[in-house]
Amino acid sequence: MSSAVLSPVLERDKIVEQVERRLQEVICVDGPTRMVMNHVFSSQGKMLRAQLVILTSSLWGTTLFESAVNAAAGVELIHRASLIHDDIVDEGVLRRGRPATYRVFGIKEAVLAGDYLFALAFSLFAQSSPLVLPIMSRAIGEMSRGEIDELIQPGRTIQEYWTYIHRKTAALLGACCEVGAVLAGHVGHWADRLREFGEAVGLAFQLTDDVLDYRGSTEKLGKAVGKDFHLEVWTLPIILAYERGLIGHDWHSQGFQRIQQLLDESGILDEVWRMAEAQMGRARCILAELPESEARGVLWEILNAISVRQS
């Protein structure tokens, strides 16, 4: 693909279509690998991370749009690969309402499928811009380090929790927005500010997921409710309840419904909702610093949609 300067079509569904088209070009392989790819990409998803790359790259008008599409498709491949590996680590059964990849093809096959997607992603990053590779390498390293640390020594304090979710979720979204700024020719101040914007969105998302695990539905999440509880994960609601003496180290022995009721009646779930909204407020403040543009308007729509998810 060339890197012609274009005025992109910024409707969210059009962005998804263009990224999906590029993904299909990249994953078009023969043999058994194709069966795995078909399963991994059988549900499209919202492609939030890919949208962030293209929209942030378009905040100042024209952009190297095909380079942005390559970077966006690469980010989506990284996200899909991480989900495949996460499901293995967490023993997840469902992903976006469908059986997890390892449940269909086996653990070995799923691990290698994730590795294959990482390889494809880095090829796309190389085609996009030399500046993209170090940004995405840093984010992937943060994601991996966060998961390793959590497996070996799970965090049970508020500070450890914030460090973990920054690495697990916020780092990648921050990198997506930083890449967008760099592709638009903005390094330094705006690259830093847009990285902070993406990180705030990522933190809001993770806080929301922590609450929905105790208050949501399988239909809304696309995965089983209570997953974190059954894996005995110390998410922020659990950490707050523990620090306030409402539960002990053996909290998971009380049963899901009992813990669910305790977190709700104590107001802890509402408190974590408010923390998520505070992160959304931080993202809105950064977005307000940018000049008015079509891309900024679409980013406002995304923030509003996330707020609706929280309601």
Both tokens assigned to 190: 């705006």
Look at residue 2 in the predicted model and tell me its pLDDT: 39
> The pTM is what?
0.91
Rounded distance, CA 79 to CA 121, Å? 10
Q: What count of other Cβ atoms lies within 10 Å of the Cβ of residue 88? A: 18
Domain boundaries, the chain: 5-310
> 206 near 175, Cβ under 8 Å?
no
Look at residue 65 in the predicted model and tell me its pLDDT: 82
Percent of the chain at pLDDT > 90 equals 77
Domain 5-310 has CATH 1.10.600.10: yes
Look at residue 309 in the predicted model and tell me its pLDDT: 64
Look at residue 4 in the predicted model and tell me its pLDDT: 46
Look at residue 38 in the predicted model and tell me its pLDDT: 94
Query: How far, in whole angstroms, is CA 289 from its chain's centroid?
Result: 24
Both tokens assigned to 232: 């005995």
| CA proximity to 40, closest of 116, 136, 128 | 116
H/E stretch holding 278 reads helix 268-288
Rounded mean pLDDT of 117-142?
A: 97
Q: Tens digit of pLDDT for each residue in 14-29? A: 889 999 999 999 998 8
> 247 near 232, Cβ under 8 Å?
no
Rounded mean pLDDT of 56-70?
A: 87
Query: What does the DSSP 8-state code read for residue 250?
Result: T
Write the burial class of residue 272 (CB in 10 Å: 0-12 exposed, 13-18 middle, 19+ buried). buried
Query: What does the DSSP 8-state code read for residue 167?
Result: I
Query: What does the DSSP 8-state code read for residue 27?
Result: S
Look at residue 306 in the predicted model and tell me its pLDDT: 82
Q: Rounded to a whole number, what is the distance in angstroms from the first to the last CA of the chain?
A: 41
pLDDT over 80 at 113, yes or no: yes
Rg (CA), the chain: 19
> 182 near 132, Cβ under 8 Å?
yes
Look at residue 1 in the predicted model and tell me its pLDDT: 40
pLDDT higher for 260 or 217?
260
| CA proximity to 59, closest of 148, 178, 226 | 178
Q: Give long-range contacts, CB 8 A cutoff, 24+ apart: 128-134.
A: 128/67, 128/68, 128/70, 128/71, 128/74, 128/179, 128/183, 129/64, 129/67, 129/71, 129/182, 129/183, 131/179, 131/182, 131/183, 131/187, 132/71, 132/74, 132/179, 132/182, 132/183
